[in-house]
Chains A and B, each alone.
Chain A
Amino acid sequence: ETGVTQTPRHLVMGMTNKKSLKCEQHLGHNAMYWYKQSAKKPLELMFVYNFKEQTENNSVPSRFSPECPNSSHLFLHLHTLQPEDSALYLCASSQPGANYGYTFGSGTRLTVV
C-alpha cells in the first residue's frame, strides 16, 4: 500500500476518446500534483492543487482538464489527445510547507493511438 493510488495502471485511447485518470491518497495531505513523465525528459509539472484549489497550471493544453473534488482525490480528464501525449502520468501528494518531498503513486501509462 503506497498511500497514493492511481487508476488505471494502463490506458490506451484513441484521439477522439474521452477518459479520466484517477488519483487517491489516504495520507492526510492537502497538496496534490500531476506530473508527466516522458522518456529522456525531466518530469514536467502539469497542475498543483492546494486545499482543493488549483494553484498552478504549467501552460498545459486544454485537452487536459484537472479536477480536485476534495483533498484526497484528484482527476485528470482527457479529451482529443494527440499521440505525443503518450507518457507516464504521475500523481503525487504532500503536506504544504513540509520539507520531506512528495509521496508518489505508481502512475498511469497512457498510450494515444
Chain B
Amino acid sequence: AQTVTQSQPEMSVQEAETVTLSCTYDTSESDYYLFWYKQPPSRQMILVIRQEAYKQQNATENRFSVNFQKAAKSFSLKISDSQLGDAAMYFCAYRGPNTDKLIFGTGTRLQVFP
C-alpha cells in the first residue's frame, strides 16, 4: 500500500528566510501525482503546488518550489522569502494512477517568526 511520511511534526523559520519541509512516500507505481497542501487556522486546505511524476522538472509556484527525487521517493517543499502568512499546517499527498484518492501524510506545522 502507498504511504506518505512527513518526519517533521514542527518547523520554524524567520521571516524572509527559506525553509524546507520534507516528505517521502512509498509506491511501486511509476506514474503518479504529488501535492503539497496548506491548512491555515481557517482550516480550509489549499493546494500549494503539485508535481507529475513523469516530469523531471521540479514544479515552482512563486515562492514555493519542490525538490522531487523520484528514485529516492522524496518530495520536499521549499518556501523562499517566508512570510507571516505562510504559518500553517502543511500536508504532503500522493495520488496514484487510475484513482482519484489522495493519501496524506501527518503534516508539518510551520511557524514563522518576525
Instruction: Tell me the A residues contacting B by CB distance below 8 Å.
Output: 2, 31, 40-43, 45, 48, 50, 56, 88, 90, 92, 94, 96-97, 99-107, 109
Contacts and interface: CB of A to CB of B under 8 A. Distances in A.
B91 A43 contact: yes
Contacts of B107: 42
Which of B44, B50, B91, B107 has most chain A Cβ within 10 Å? Answer: B44
Which of A43, A105, A109 has most chain B Cβ within 10 Å? Answer: A43
A41 B106 contact: yes
Nearest to A55: B100
17 contacts: A2-B44, A31-B100, A40-B9, A42-B4, A45-B102, A48-B101, A56-B101, A88-B43, A90-B43, A90-B45, A97-B100, A100-B50, A101-B35, A104-B44, A106-B44, A107-B44, A109-B43
Interface of B: 4, 9, 33, 35, 37, 42-47, 50, 52, 91, 93, 95, 100-107
User: Which 4 residue pairs spanning A and B have beta carbons closest together?
Assistant: A104-B45, A43-B104, A106-B44, A107-B43
